[in-house]
Every structure is written in structure tokens, then in C-alpha cells.
Amino acid sequence: MSALYMVVGLVIALGVLVTFHEFGHFWVARRCGVRVLRFSVGFGTPLVRWHDRHGTEFVVAAIPLGGYVKMLDEREAEVPVDQLDYAFNRKSVFQRIAIVSAGPIANFLLAILFFWVLALLGSQQVRPVIGSVVAGSPAALGGLVAGQEVVAVDGEAVDGWAAVNLRLVRRLGETGELTVAVREPGSSVDVTHKVAIRSWLKSAENPDPIGGLGIQPWRPAMPPVIAELDPEGPAKAAGLQIGDRLVSLDGVAVDDWQQVVDKVRARPAQSVALAFQRDGQSHELKLTLSTKGEGKARTGYLGAGVSGGQWPAEMLREVRYGPVAAVGEALSQTWSMSLLTLDSLKKMVLGQLSVKNLSGPITIAKVAGASAQSGVGDFLHFLAYLSISLGVLNLLPIPVLDGGHLAFYLVEWVRGRPLSERVQAWGMQIGISLVVGVMLLALVNDLSRL
């Protein structure tokens, strides 16, 4: 079922985002008097095609990994004399800038729409109360302790752990101080702490900002009673059953599932001794944990899970906006994510973040499937983030991307004449090399994660 969700989620995600992006180009081109020859969603063999009254061919193609809008253009084919006024290259530089920028702008507008709907629907957030702090960690050295509730990070208010994580992500790879405002239990006074960071999680392949500070969020206790088993996991193979209650691991008593998780993750491919109770009887067994991940990301895997604990009502808060307030929230979310995407790209170029954080089509498919399986809200969040990424990446001043064409047209506007075809051709070759190189790197990252 997960594979089906991956395929369906990816096709829907790319179909919606690509269609909207290309529609932006199409809509503005039509209003600028450009004749659109073809509007294609996907590449390769056409599966469905039809024509409108303006003669534009609409195509849904077999490979759903992009799309394009083909316009009448003398640079691509000979144009009849009576059609020259409808050619893209004959339009003013400002019209061409408008047409090219319309695609990324459409992606930002789509993200705003998704965030607006999510703000209207509302969400239930877990209050960001600290459960524990690792001794000697940046959080501990900054004076953070268990029981405090995080109310702001770097001066920006937070209403849940998701917001805390987003604020912290912005500081990855940096050296300096994080400003964390917290509130003590039963108090209404905010206290500010300075948390020192140095090249923070610079080399991490899958950075965990909250855990990287040494903070473990508060959560309800989860007794180590097995509620699910991976049919292919070591727990099942060793004879553990649903309903078994783990008592100790390697002789160390455990009374909470997180203790088991922490110990297991630290022992990839190692043999461990488990003591457990079944139907009131004590038992012991030894098993060898399997491994997940590669290199520094290797962790132990038991192949067992428990049912989640019950969250007390006072630890949850409902976050919902009215129709007007939701517009402001959607604009704020879109702006923040756009800046975060740009900042992350800059940090990768400067070496402040590992390029292994780049993701390709395989990771996108996995996230699409997981978010689709989680529900409409999570899938809309994923679509919004992906739409912003598509908009930002397309605006980068790299030839072959929309941003590269915009750069050429801006130079033309300043100079009063376009760059020579030779210079533009060189730019295109460099741009293609850069894009192909990044795509290959992202694909290699995807394969390494498998």
C-alpha cells in the first residue's frame, strides 16, 4: 500500500504543481498576445491531446516529471509573415519578463492558497514543553531545563514543536547565539536564554535541530508493551509477541519505550539480551539487532513498536484562523519558507550545510506517499513546501531555468539590446551542466538513503 501511495502521491503532486506553473506562463503569454502552440503536462508519448479554439494543443504525456509551454518563436522555427506579431521573440522585453516570471509566481500563489486553506482548517499543536535536557549539551549550557515551555526562538513566537523546529532550521550551520524564550510551569513571565552554537550540525546529513540542541520534547509515558511487530524484523524472528512487556535490555531496567528506542538505536548489528513478561511469566532471550542507514547515520533496529500514549488536554492547543487572518498567516508562511529555501541553498554552496541534504525524485516520492497516507492536511503542507521550492529554484539565475532567462532579459533591458546568441549559447551549456550535475548529486543522495 505504501508503494501505491508513493506513486499516486508523486503523480498528483507533480501534476498539480507543474500544471499550475505552466499555466502561469500560458495565461500571461496569451494576455501579451503570444500564440501558444502547445501546453504539455509531462514529457514523452502523448496519452491525451486536444485543441482549443485558438489552435493551442493541450497534451498529457506519459512521463509526469515536468511540463512545458511551447510558444511561437522565430528562434525555434520559421514563422509566417502574417504571424510575426504573435511571436514571443517579437514582444517587448517587459512582456517577455512577465511571461517568464509568471510560472514561479504561480507556484508562490498556489502555496499561499494551500497555506490559507490549512490556516482555515486549523491544527492541533503540542505545546513545546521540554521533557529533558542532555547534560553538557548546548541547551543545558544555556540554562534550559525540563518543564520549561518554549515560547519564542530568536524573537519569533512559537505555538508548537513544528514552529520551534522551523525556527531552529534557519540557524543550521551557523556560529553564534540562539535566543530562546521560555516560561516556567505556572508562570506568565518569559525568561530569555542564550544558547551558544558553533558550526551547528554543519556536517549532519539528516539534521535534527531540536535533538541537536540536546532537548527531548515532553511526551506522555509509553509503557514498553509491544503492540506491533515488523514481520521481517529481528524481534519477530526471535519470538517476541504482541502483548509482551519488556523489562530490561542488557540487564538495564526499562519502564518507558523511549528508553528501549535510545538503547536499540545505539547498538546497530549488535547482540542484545532482552528480559520480558508474557502472561505474567518472566522470559529472557538474545537477538541480534538489524541496521538502518549508512555511515554515521547507522542505527540499530528492533522491528517492534508500541501504541502511543494519551496526550493530556492541557498539553494540546488548537490553532485556527479566520478567513482574513488566514491570508496573513499564509503570506507569512510562504515568505518564511521561501527565505529558508534560499538560505539553505546558500549554506550548501558555502559549505555550512552538507550537500547530502539535497533530495531527488526518490525522496520526493517517499515524502509524497507518506504525507498522502497521513491525511489531507499533511499532503497540502507537502504540496505547499514543494511548490515554494519549485518557485525558488526556477528563479535562480541559471540559464535553462526561468531565472536564467530573466537574467538575460534584464541585461537586455539595461543594455538596450540582447546578448549575442553565442554568449547565450555558452550560458545555456553552463546552465545545463549545473542542473544535470545537481540532479545527479540529488539522485546519488536518494540512492544512498535507500
Residue with cell 497540502: 380
For 349, the grid coordinates are 554552496
Per-residue pLDDT at 294? 62
Q: Residue 360: its pLDDT value, please?
A: 77
Residue 337's pLDDT is what?
Answer: 94
pLDDT (tens digit, 9 = 90+) per residue, 349-399? 888 888 887 787 777 778 888 888 888 888 999 999 999 999 999 999 998
> DSSP secondary-structure letter at 344?
H
- Confidence grade of residue 275 (pLDDT, cut at 50, 70, 90): very high
Q: Does 1 score more than 50 pLDDT?
A: no
**Taking Cα atoms as reference points, which of 441, 346, 374 lies closest to residue 123?**
374
Which residues face 317 on adjacent strands?
Answer: 125
Report CA-CA distances (Å) from 384 to 67, 321, 387: 19, 18, 5
Closest CA to 25 of 113, 100, 94: 100
Which pairing describes strands 271-278 and 245-249: parallel, antiparallel, or unpaired?
antiparallel
Among residues 64, 55, 53, the alpha carbon closest in space to that of 22 is found at 64
Residue pLDDT, tens place only, 79-94:
898 899 999 999 999 9
Torsion, Cα of 185, 187, 189, 191 (10° steps): -20
Cβ atoms 147, 341 nearer than 8 A: no
Contact yes or no for 276/247 (Cβ under 8 A): yes
Task: Determine the residue type at 248.
Answer: S
Q: Which of the following is catalytic: 22, 149, 174, 329? A: 22
Q: Which residues contact 250 (CB under 8 A, 6 or more apart)?
A: 263, 272, 273
Q: In the structure, what pLDDT confidence band is assigned to residue 311 with cuts at 50, 70 and 90?
A: confident
CA distance 251 to 275: 8
Told to judge if 22 belongs to the known catalytic residues of this protein, a careful annotator would answer: yes
What average pLDDT does the segment 300-324 reach? Answer: 88
Report all structural domains of the chain as residue ranges with CATH numbers, in order of start: 2-32+91-121+377-449 (no CATH), 123-219+315-319 (2.30.42.10), 228-310 (2.30.42.10)
327: nearest Cα among 112, 144, 142, 141: 112
The set of cell numbers assigned to 196 is 551558544
Q: What is the pTM of this model?
A: 0.83
Mean pLDDT score, 24-36: 95
| Contact yes or no for 25/394 (Cβ under 8 A) | no
